Chain A
């Protein structure tokens, strides 16, 4: 024979559990259904704030030279973020229809990593290389423009590595060798030759 107080206790507990289930069921129906966001990758914060003067080294196909061009762009405080913004500003010029050195319309800077001591790793997207025009000079101008712009505005960079879509690529578009590191001093010499040859 089960004691009466145990029967009552069990019945109360069951009633409470049932009531809570009903309550939860009703609450669940009231929560709005939210679709997951389409893009789940990291989003760069919009750059705002005071602008700074920088020098962009812009390639010019007609003269086969780099042209130093002053620009005012908003730059974040972090050195790595500044590097990214510099290259994004440079690429913005090349994506213009009237650019003296047009690049593919989908070309983008994915990331720039500054690795001590003095190494900058530029990671471009696949479209940058896939849509690049092929030729020794035209590819050399692009490489020189990226390296020179970075090293001139961020002192201390001595070597630059260019990746495409996070991976090493043999050449940019069949000519410029991307398998190694670009010594800033050698690129300076190359640029000096370019400017002096005209």
Chain B
């Protein structure tokens, strides 16, 4: 009896244990599944666009609010330092100081109180501010206008917007041509009936309507969407042959013509050609047409005043005025131009070289001004010996060495034009950065006052004369520069 009842009890216990094990196993699986499902499918990001740099940062979730590291936001734009003093976090951007207190919403920037929409947080020395406080904070730190699209997490500092137009050429096959006001480099993906272009680093602004219609059966529409710090343009149509054919073609002439007319530097853009009748699906990924594109660098700026030309005149202001006028003159002659520093901002020499090289110009002109002497002095790079350039990897200090002859062509052209206008001109090599780091024809132009005196440096007439002449020289160099390219 006893042994029989013990056996039953033992079996019952084993069954209970099995059932329990199954319940625990199912519960564990459900827990894992719920954890996986609840994990964010995509990292939140914010994109920041400025004349100095375009960049994307991670957004952090703290107490169900979006936060971002203030140090990382401002670091690419200037000199930043931060110091933790107990619960205080002292932050400095260039010459603007800010003070934040952990767990408090009240901050102080440049002597003014700023109310944050949520508490300031400090994590491992990193000061975190609510994402939606960036507009007010950056306006204070940068001293200029900031536009923040909070829904799309895209922040524009200054006037950096890139606009675009799209039109379908009704020729057979139909072609969609998109022109952007600055160079773009989207990620392109396709699926049946759709072509998606994702722009992560371009400050593209929406066209008048989110949906563009083209009155064409093959490519009837395109949509514009901005979300999570990126822009996505989707072209809809019946142009695919199940993804079997990709056609790459040069940008059409019309794009180049538009590029020459628009006031911003242009890139020959990807052309999307449809060939339904031939059964081909043809997204073009790049164009091989060369562009004659100039970068004009207004030297100094921001904290760095350059030479004190007189009691009233700083070199940084004169160089900016000349650079803007030079852009105007070049563009009126059909040369797309980018002014590196189009405002009173601080840019390091490395930043200038990086920005110029990234734009791949045909010519880089660095503008300086001086009170000594008269006329214009042109400077070429003074390259140090050595420096190993291997293939596409260039030594930073001697990157200009492969472009020395192109620089001399530009110099010669500028001398000829200046002499025609009887402007005193002198050429020298100089230990002047960032000339050595530029991967294009590069010349520094130091503008000295005319005989009439230093105040003339600021006169519209003198600036017009010099910039007209330099622009003519740059245009005249085009044929020789493009010949070997």
Contact = CB atoms under 8 A, between A and B. Distances in A.
Interface string B145-179: 00000000000000000000000000000000000
Contacts of A138: 370, 372
Interface stretch (B35-43, B50-58, B199-207, B425-433): B425-433
A189 interface: yes
A183 interface: yes
A190 B446 contact: no
Nearest to B306: A174
A189 B446 contact: no
A175 B368 contact: yes
Contact of A136 (B308, B379, B384): B379
A190 B428 contact: yes
Nearest to B383: A186
Interface residues on A, range: 20 to 34
Contacts of B397: 180
A193 B308 CA distance: 27
A182 B436 CA distance: 13
B428 A140 contact: yes
B241 to A, nearest CB: 57
A180 B370 contact: no
Nearest to A178: B431
Interface in B383-397: 383-385, 397
Pick the most buried of B306, B429, B431: most chain A CB atoms within 10 A of its CB: B431
A134 B430 contact: no
Interface residues of B, number: 29
Contacts, number: 79
B426 A197 contact: yes
Interface of A: 61, 64, 133-138, 140, 143, 170-171, 173-177, 179-183, 185-186, 189-190, 193-194, 197
A176 B432 contact: yes
A174 B330 CA distance: 28
Residue of A133, A135, A176, A180 with highest tally of chain B CB at under 10 A: A135
B432 A133 contact: no
A-B pairs, top 4 by smallest CB distance, nearest first, are A134-B307, A135-B370, A177-B431, A177-B433
B373 A177 contact: no
A137 B429 CA distance: 10
Given A174-B300, A175-B368, A137 B384 contact: no
Contacts of B370: 135-138
B304 interface: yes
A197 B431 CA distance: 18
A137 B432 contact: no
